[in-house]
């Protein structure tokens, strides 16, 4: 069994696409109109066998209370593995990305938590 698609609920799909692609460097894999929304997925390189991240509209009434509770507790909705995290944090800071938790290094890993501009906190992690 393999993970195929996982979702991140976003308040604006176009804004999410800009952030996840132009800022974080993901590539659009699928972009199909579905009524007033889009089936919009991104992946690391856009390759056929990669896990997809669905930038899913936050239209369901349960989404906002769930995301609000996570944000209030500082819990990231997603975690992305990064090589060279300290340099990546500097690059993201130069692009104006908001850090909720700055770059922190431990013996086992380094982390930072960012705001994705679409209602979510995202953890960036590099294993030691």
CATH number of residue 86's parent domain: 3.10.180.10
Residue 112, C-beta contacts closer than 8 angstroms, at least 6 positions apart: 85, 89, 99, 101, 102, 103, 104, 123, 124
Residues of the domain holding 17: 5-127
pLDDT of residue 49: 83
**Residues 59 and 37: beta-carbon distance below 8 Å:** yes
pLDDT of residue 48: 78
pLDDT digits (tens, 9 = 90+) for 62-108: 999 999 999 999 999 999 999 999 999 999 999 999 999 999 999 99
pLDDT digits (tens, 9 = 90+) for 36-55: 999 999 999 877 789 999 99
| Average pLDDT of span 10-18 | 97
- The total number of structural domains that make up the chain: 1
């Amino acid at each position: 069994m393999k993970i195929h698609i996982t979702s991140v609920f976003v308040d604006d799909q176009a804004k999410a696409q800009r952030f996840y692609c132009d800022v974080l460097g993901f590539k659009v894999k699928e972009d199909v109109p579905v009524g007033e929304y889009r089936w919009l997925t991104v992946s690391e390189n856009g390759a056929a066998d990669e896990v997809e991240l669905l930038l899913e509209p936050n239209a369901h009434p349960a989404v906002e209370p769930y995301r609000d509770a996570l944000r209030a507790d500082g819990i990231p909705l997603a975690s992305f593995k990064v090589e060279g995290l300290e340099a990546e944090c500097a690059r993201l800071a130069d692009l104006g990305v908001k850090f909720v938790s700055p770059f922190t290094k431990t013996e086992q890993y380094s982390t930072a938590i960012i705001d994705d501009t679409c209602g979510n906190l995202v953890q960036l992690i590099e294993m030691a």
